[in-house]
Structure 1
Amino acid sequence: MPRDSGPTRRRIVEAAEILFARHGLDVPLQDITRAAGQRNAGAIHYHFGGREGLLRAIVEQHVPVVYARRQALLAAAREQPERLSGFARAIVLPITELLNGSPADRAYLQISVELLRDTTSPVTPLLGGEDVQDVVDAVAAARPDLPATALQARTFLVTQMVGMLCAARAARHDRPPRPDGIAPTGLLGPEAFDDHLTAIVAGALAGD
């Protein structure tokens, strides 16, 4: 009976998330293999086919969660009187919830931003964009007075901005407090950070 490779794959993915987030996407594969406790130097190639396949496994683990959460928030926003604020929350909360989630979630935030910078990577398209387009369509239906091209550009820009801000905050999450007592993530606590980001995104969607 063949041995279940699931635990080995999980250990490699967990080690890769930490090291990709900490050292960048070019971290040596042997470092990941070692951190995962694998003696076989070819373990990553055996289980994932290489760096690209490993990154793909990480992305495919997180993207469906973000997508489902955004769809749920969009559905709720369509039933609210203040729909623009609800649409803004649909952009912000799936990302900030990763920030406030597990170490793997925070690592994924940093990895996804690195992938977005690498437009040549075949893994980057897996990050999607269909869910953000769903936000564009929802706002356009609620506010037909807004220019369609500008709305699309603003929505994708603020989504990238939210991702980059959250990734930067994730990178500082586990650092000790500063000498002045301020948290390493800054003056804003998680709830205030969410509220301010949502207000900024809502203003952008409205064209304010």
Structure 2
Amino acid sequence: MGQHGEKARETLLDAAEELFARYGIDAVSNRRIAEHAGTANHSAVAYHFGGRDELMEALITRHLEDTHRRRAALTEQLDDDGAALHDLLACLILPWVDHLASLPVPSWRARFLHQMRAVPSMKALLNRTAVASPVTEDLIRRTAAAVGDIPTSVLHGRSWILGSMTIGVCSEYESRIHDGAETPNWTGVGYFLIDSCAGMLSAPVTHPGDFITQPSPVFLL
């Protein structure tokens, strides 16, 4: 794809991310995205992406390389054995919030992903892309081992809660920055989330059960 085509594609992705973040996934048509991107070609999304599903996948994965690079760099600093739970969670969470901090204001990334979580058909794609690297998969395995006395079914349920909490907190914080209600301190948000996740994952189990049996790693995006 030529330089002009790549720029047009990025402009469409920017427009789609903003509109989806503002109004929700199902409320925004491909035509509206094209118009918001400033193109008179109402078939621009189909031309550049092939269809709606391909557009959504491109939006979800567009920044993952940066997050994976940041995560790999942090992970290299861990001890090979016996890394503390907080350190493992830092490798999972800080690259995500550091990426959010690197985006221009206003950014729409966290709010877009928050909207994505509300669409059942998108959850499988989110989960798949969230762990789409060997480094992330290894960190998840090591994190589970660090709280090995917690039943797997309970860890699955807690990861579901943490997914909602992490993206929800980042979405709200991103919105408050946009509105001028917060001075950006994404690093502080990251460590707040690390402490919160560590506390929940390692909390005592008073009533074990298989209430939620599928893991939900989307807070790792």
TM-score by length of 2: 0.73
Query: RCO (CA 8 Å, sep 6+): is it higher in 1 or 2?
Result: 2
Moved more, 60-69 or 41-50: 60-69
Moved more, 155-164 or 42-51: 155-164
Q: CA deviation at 1:78?
A: 3.7
The one-letter amino acid paired with 2:19 is L
| Percent identity between the two aligned chains | 24
Residue in structure 1 matched with residue 47 of structure 2 by the alignment = 46
Structure-to-structure mapping, 1:88-103, within 5 angstroms: 88-103=89-104
Consecutive unaligned residues of structure 1, counting only runs of 5 or more, are: 177-183
Residue in structure 2 matched with residue 179 of structure 1 by the alignment = none
| Post-superposition CA distance 1:147-200 (Å, at most 9, x none) | 333234323432431111101211222213xxxxxxx148x9434323322211
**Cα RMSD (Å):** 3.1
Residue in structure 2 matched with residue 24 of structure 1 by the alignment = 24
Consecutive unaligned residues of structure 2, counting only runs of 5 or more, are: 205-221
Please state whether the residue corresponding to 1:171 is helix, strand or coil. Answer: helix
Residue in structure 2 matched with residue 197 of structure 1 by the alignment = 193
Structure-to-structure mapping, 1:47-196, within 5 angstroms: 47-79=48-80, 83-103=84-104, 106-121=107-122, 123-129=125-131, 134-176=138-180, 184-185=181-182, 189-196=185-192
CA contact (8 A) 2:66 2:99 kept: no
The one-letter amino acid paired with 2:149 is D
Residue in structure 2 matched with residue 206 of structure 1 by the alignment = 202
Closer/same/farther in 2, CA of residues 205 and 34 from structure 1, 3 Å limit: same
| Aligned residue pairs, count | 199
CA contact (8 A) 1:83 1:142 kept: yes
The one-letter amino acid paired with 1:146 is I
The one-letter amino acid paired with 2:35 is R
CA contact (8 A) 1:113 1:167 kept: yes
Closer/same/farther in 2, CA of residues 32 and 190 from structure 1, 3 Å limit: same
| Post-superposition CA distance 1:27-47 (Å, at most 9, x none) | 232222122221212111111
Closer/same/farther in 2, CA of residues 120 and 128 from structure 1, 3 Å limit: same
Residue in structure 1 matched with residue 207 of structure 2 by the alignment = none
Residue in structure 2 matched with residue 34 of structure 1 by the alignment = 35
